[in-house]
Amino acid sequence: MGLLVRELGTCPYGAVLALQEELVSRKIDGDQNDYLLVLEHEPVYTLGRGANAADLLGADAALGIPSYRIGRGGGVTFHGPGQLVAYPILTLAHCHDVHRFVHALEEVLIRTCAAFTITGRRHDGLTGVWVADAKIASIGIGVRRWTTFHGVALNVSTDLRYFSHVVPCRMPDVRMTSMALELGTVPALAEVRTTFITTFRSVFGYPEAAVEECRV
């Protein structure tokens, strides 16, 4: 089983959601490849299965930003330029362990941050990755017939003001941060993306990956 990495550039949310659905269906029908979609989104708010629509605080209408209710776990979050988003579409049929999968995603994010001298950590009882008391990366996944979709969002140089207009992750007091804020300088997104892909392969045990640039 190989890993196919698709670097999609900056994409509207709906198009990538449709691509995920297509690939999930393909895998359920027997496709032996695993996929990793890596991209930035045009500005969008998404609401997971645990989200209350009130947590949007009307930000989608006030700011003219689309919002989607989707089949991942978690509450409301923001995606936009300067944020590295990755959607792994993998089979868990060999282990049937969602918690182990989420733990591995956290490990990828922690190691990616460490490569840029940022100390990320887990937070007891919560998903995602934190720097001290601020959240730098979010995780929200879906699983259908042991095939994963949705994924992770790492704030590289994200405009964090978009988070202040909503209740992120159902946590009114959460403080969001970014790699740029922690470093005092903006890291190159292309370098962060390459580091993330290499680290993902290492953590998940893929000896190699085919990487292609494409658009949706």
pLDDT at 211: 83
Position 31 confidence tier, pLDDT thresholds 50, 70, 90: very high
Catalytic residue selected from 95, 113, 169, 214 = 169
Within a domain: 176: yes
What span, in angstroms and rounded, lies between the C-alpha atoms of 185 and 187?
A: 6
In a domain, 206, yes or no: no
Q: Is residue 120 part of a domain?
A: yes
Report d(CA 204, CA 23) in Å as an integer. 19
pLDDT, residue 1, reads 65
> Is 150 inside a domain boundary?
yes
Would you state the pLDDT for residue 69? 96
User: Given this model, what pLDDT does residue 100 score?
Assistant: 95
Neighbouring CB atoms inside 10 A of 43's CB total 18
CB 11 within 8 A of CB 40: yes
Assign residue 152 a region: left if phi > 0, alpha if psi is -120 to 50, beta otherwise? beta
Tell me whether residue 214 is one of the annotated catalytic residues: no
Residue 89 and residue 164 in contact, taking contact as beta carbons nearer than 8 Å: no
pTM over 0.85? The answer is yes
Which domain range does residue 126 map to?
A: 42-83+92-200
Averaged pLDDT score across all residues of the chain: 95
pLDDT classification of 91: cutoffs 50, 70, 90: very high
* pLDDT above 80 for 92: yes
Would residue 104 count as lying in a domain? yes
**How far apart, in whole angstroms, are the C-alpha atoms of residue 19 and residue 16?**
5
Among the listed residues 62, 183, 19, 48, the one whose alpha carbon sits nearest the alpha carbon of residue 116: 183
Cα separation, 92 vs 193, in Å, equals 24
* 30 located within any domain: no
Q: Is residue 2 part of a domain?
A: no
What is the pLDDT confidence band of residue 208, given thresholds at 50, 70 and 90?
Answer: confident
Give the domain CATH number at 158.
3.30.930.10
Q: What percentage of the chain exceeds 70 in pLDDT?
A: 99
pLDDT band for position 131 (50/70/90)? very high
Domain count, the chain: 1
Q: Is residue 208 part of a domain?
A: no
Residue 81's pLDDT band (boundaries 50, 70, 90)?
A: very high
**Which pair of structure tokens corresponds to residue 57?**
């605080």
Name the more confident of 109 and 1.
109
